[in-house]
Amino acid sequence: MASEKNATDVSVRINSDDNLLHAPDETLVIQVARGNSTALEVLYDRYASTVLGISLKVIGDQALAEDVLQETFWRVWQSAGTYQSQRGPFTGWLFRIARNLSIDAYRRRNVRPQTISGAEGSDPILEETPDPDTNVADQAQSILKNRQIRKALAALPTVQRQVIEMAYFYGMTRQEIAEATGEALGTIHTRARLALQKLRGEFERDEFEG
């Protein structure tokens, strides 16, 4: 009897794991929140390569990107209970975690920390100054370029900015953006086209005024 029970338990577990392989992301996140490590493994298998690609786009360092990959899914394991499907698909939530961690890792590697946090008279430029061993001209160009990009992005409508950020920071294709946001591919094409037109206009105006 005991052996039959054990065999049944194994069969149920295999069937359950097989079901998870084909389960929607939202179902898997619920299972992760309940402590199901197999569900996390399924999500990892689905999206690890994309998350790694996002990190590489931002950081440009394979080892650091792999660290961010592991940290991203550790965050998913810890915070799965906070995910709310009504706010958007799981992939958008996951990629935001990956992007934020990647930016943090990039800043830790390239930015000199502020000497005294919140010190009076502190210059925000110091917060984005690359390593002092790099070329000064390259540092200045990087700062100005980053500021120009942020300024141009800030001028875009939110939905258009989202498309550009997902493509630029996440390294996502338009098809992937459509799947992540739940929007039609044609809508993503339109938003990307309009956003690029506006960005081009912003850059051209800055060059003219400069």
- For residues 57 and 170, the answer to whether their CB atoms sit within 8 Å is yes
Among the candidates 78, 110, 142, a domain finishes at 110
Do residues 106 and 137 share a domain? Answer: no
Query: Residue 140 — very low, low, confident or very high, per pLDDT cuts 50/70/90?
Result: low
- For residues 168 and 140, the answer to whether their CB atoms sit within 8 Å is no
Among the candidates 110, 125, 142, a domain finishes at 110
| Domain hosting residue 160, numbered range | 133-210
Do residues 138 and 210 share a domain? Answer: yes
What percent of the chain has a predicted confidence (pLDDT) above 70?
Answer: 69
The total of structural domains in the chain comes to 2
- Indicate the range of 42-51, 107-116, 150-159 predicted with least confidence: 107-116
- For residues 194 and 187, the answer to whether their CB atoms sit within 8 Å is no
Q: Output 67 or 15, whichever has higher pLDDT.
A: 67
Do residues 23 and 82 share a domain? Answer: yes
Structural domain includes residue 123: no
What is the residue whose two structure tokens read 């990039």?
A: 106
Do residues 157 and 100 share a domain? Answer: no
Q: Going by C-beta distance under 8 Å and a sequence separation of 6 or more, which residues neighbour residue 19?
A: none
CA distance 110 to 69: 19
Where does the chain have alpha helices with state H?
2-21, 25-33, 37-59, 62-79, 90-110, 136-154, 158-168, 174-181, 185-209
Confidence (pTM): 0.52
Structural domain includes residue 128: no
Structural domain includes residue 124: no
CATH number of domain containing 210? 1.10.10.10
Structural domain includes residue 142: yes
Do residues 105 and 19 share a domain? Answer: yes
| Residue 200, pLDDT score | 80
